[in-house]
Amino acid sequence: MDSDLPAAPDLLRRHALLLDIDGTLLDIAPRPDAVRVPPGLPGLLNSLHAQLGGGLALVTGRPLEQAQALLGPLPTAAEHGAVLHIPPAPPRRLALPRVPYAWQLATTALLHAHPGTLLELKHGGFVLHYRGAPDAGPALEAALRPLLAADPRFELLPAAMAWEIRPAGADKGRALRALMTVPGFAGRLPLFIGDDVTDLAAIDAARALGGIGLHMADSFGTPGRLRQWLMTLQENAPWLAS
């Protein structure tokens, strides 16, 4: 576990928690819809959210509806910040382009050519998962890159056994900066934790704002250890009421 983390009282007093979902809070599953939410995790997050005065948020590549169905109606930056929801206000969506429908058709053909792959549609883009066809990664990249060659509005990103096409300008660093301006977060230091390539922008942004950005591989190692640490935080929080 990262030795640079402040003691729980100081962390809870000064920081906001911004947490990725897949590979961070939840163990990676063969399919995005097959993840398992451990009993008590939504309640734990909701409790910490209250103890932090609202300063806990999910920062995820998942669509907003999926993220909140899994972990509850917490503040959420979804689809890498393309959608921002701070309850009870309605969600805000960035004015970003949608991928051409022809790209979805081309990607559907790739699914047939590589059995075991999976297409995940999002508000502004899509993800092509190949955990079920682990040798297909290079072929999928070679097929997707020409789609973007003539359209700089989009970018292709590697993820955990997946390739994602998303609008340029939507990234977790931008999402984190936006979250740190709203009540419950403003005036605190960000503590972001993530596990994937797409989390690096948020890690860098947290550090640039004077906070802490942690990669799971270098800090907690597994989602189970992170969840144990969150439980320890909750146990050290009663002093906040004094």
Q: 2-16, pLDDT tens digit by residue?
A: 556 877 778 888 999
pLDDT for 152 equals 86
Structure confidence at residue 241 (pLDDT): 42
Q: Which of 174, 152, 179, 182 is nearest to 165 (CA)?
A: 152
Lowest-pLDDT range, 58-62, 71-75, 152-156? 152-156
pLDDT for residue 6: 79
- Annotation says 27 is catalytic: no
What value does the mean pLDDT take over residues 85-113? 88
- The share of the chain scoring above pLDDT 90, in percent, equals 60
Phi/psi at 221 (5° precision) = 90, -60
User: In terms of Cα–Cα distance, which of 111, 115, 112 is closest to 128?
Assistant: 111
Residue 32 has what pLDDT?
83
Q: DSSP label at 74?
A: -
Question: What's the confidence (pLDDT) of residue 89?
Answer: 93
Give start and end residues of each alpha helix (H) in the chain.
Answer: 8-14, 41-51, 64-71, 101-113, 137-148, 172-179, 200-208, 223-235
For residue 138, the model assigns a pLDDT of 94
Cβ-contact 158, 125 below 8 angstroms: no
pTM for the model stands at: 0.84
Decide if pLDDT at 231 tops 90: yes
The stretch 64-69 carries a mean pLDDT of 93
Q: Alpha-carbon distance 49 to 114, whole Å?
A: 42
CA separation (Å) from 1 to 7, 197, 214, 221? 13, 20, 10, 7
Q: What is the pLDDT of residue 242?
A: 38
Q: Which of the two residues, 98 and 241, has the higher pLDDT score? A: 98
What is the spatial distance between Cα 68 and Cα 59, in angstroms, rounded to a whole number?
A: 11
Q: Mean pLDDT lowest for which of 40-54, 68-82, 210-224, 228-242? A: 228-242
Q: What is the pLDDT of residues 106-155, one digit of tens each?
A: 888 899 999 999 998 887 788 899 999 999 999 999 999 998 887 888 98
Eight-state DSSP code of residue 235 = H
pLDDT for the residue numbered 106:
85
Does the pLDDT of residue 191 top 70, yes or no?
A: yes
* pLDDT at residue 238, rounded to an integer: 60
Query: Which residue in 2, 4, 20, 22 is the catalytic one?
Result: 20
Set out the domains of the chain in order of their start, with CATH numbers. 8-94+170-241 (3.40.50.1000), 101-167 (3.90.1070)
pLDDT-derived band at 77, boundaries 50, 70, 90: very high
pLDDT of residue 80 exceeding 80, the answer is yes
